[in-house]
Amino acid sequence: MSILIYAESAEGKFKKVAFELASYAKKIAESLGTTVTAITINAGDVSELSNYGVDKVLKVNNDKLSAFTAKAYADAIKQAAQKENAQVIVLSSTTDSLYLAPLVSVALDAGFASNVVGLPVNISPFQVKRTAFSNKAFNTTEISTAIKVLSISKNSYGIFENASSLTQEDFNPSIDDADFGVKVVSVEKASGKVTIADADIVVSAGRGLKGPENWGMKNWQPFLELQQLVQNLFLI
């Protein structure tokens, strides 16, 4: 039995949330006396995960999975969970992970809690705290199934270094052609600009302004110059 995380990557590099999931899973694994396994899909160097407590990586390298396909990715995660006999599957709250989480949940007959904001309140019965009512409240949810799927709210736990000795294994899940009923035609994404999910610093001037061009300032150019200089700065 282990804790399984899906360590998301983009263009071969891990997203920040992958390290947060690893940190979170390591803490649960310690309390359960077990290990953390990560499944990666077309990621590059996976050794970085060992800095955050991951003990084993199942590396999937498959050209058919070069574009995100929720059903196929969920299928791969399901097979990884079964291989590792994982009882807790930890996912992030990126749009991709929120897309595939319910599919993983149904495939594994696992109860699913989204928007989780902390370590389990209790292990047996398994209870987690999550946000509800559009962040106007918290809710403690009990998951009664043997396998649990959690999606962790971004930046709710944090990233903590915890070195581990990592083993790597190539993993080739069988992917069904029926998983590709939704085909990606095109992607529009601002290149060279950090997303709010991956930003370390967020500068906001109020709700709904979208960017410095709407901040009501005569000259907002210095902020754009600052964005060029400071890595992982997001202006909204």
Smallest distance, other proteins to C-beta of residue 184, A: 6
Distance CA 4, CA 77 (A): 9
Smallest distance, other proteins to C-beta of residue 194, A: 8
* Segment contacting other proteins by CB under 8 A, of 28-36, 110-118, 208-216, 219-227: 110-118
The single residue among 40, 94, 164, 227 that binds other proteins, judged by CB under 8 A, is 94
Binding-residue total with other proteins (CB under 8 A): 54
- Extract the tokens encoding 140: 């403690």
Distance CA 232, CA 3 (A): 29
- Extract the tokens encoding 173: 């899940």
Q: In the window 123-152, what residues touch other proteins (CB under 8 A)? A: 127, 131-145
The single residue among 124, 158, 163, 189 that binds other proteins, judged by CB under 8 A, is 189
- Convert residues 149-188 into a mask of x (bound to other proteins by CB under 8 A) and - (unbound): -----------------------------x--xxxxxxxx
Q: In the window 16-75, what residues touch other proteins (CB under 8 A)? A: 68, 70-71, 74
**Per CB under 8 A, 224 contacts other proteins:** no
Q: Which is nearer to other proteins, 99 or 215 (CB)?
A: 99
Q: Which is nearer to other proteins, 69 or 164 (CB)?
A: 69
The crossing angle, in degrees rounded to 10, of helices 95-107 and 70-84 is 50
Q: Secondary structure of 41-91 in the HEC alphabet?
A: ECCCCCHHHHHECCCEEEEECCHHHCCCCHHHHHHHHHHHHHHHCCCEEEE
Categorise residue 101: left if φ over 0, alpha if ψ from -120 to 50, beta otherwise.
alpha
Q: Are 214 and 206 in contact (CB under 8 A)?
A: no
- Convert residues 193-222 into a mask of x (bound to other proteins by CB under 8 A) and - (unbound): x-xxxx------------------------
**Per CB under 8 A, 98 contacts other proteins:** yes
Alpha helices in 111-151 (DSSP H): none
Distance CA 21, CA 27 (A): 10
Report the 10 Å Cβ neighbour count for 91. Answer: 26
Interface contacts to other proteins, rule CB under 8 A: 68, 70-71, 74, 94-96, 98-103, 105-107, 110-115, 127, 131-145, 178, 181-190, 193, 195-198
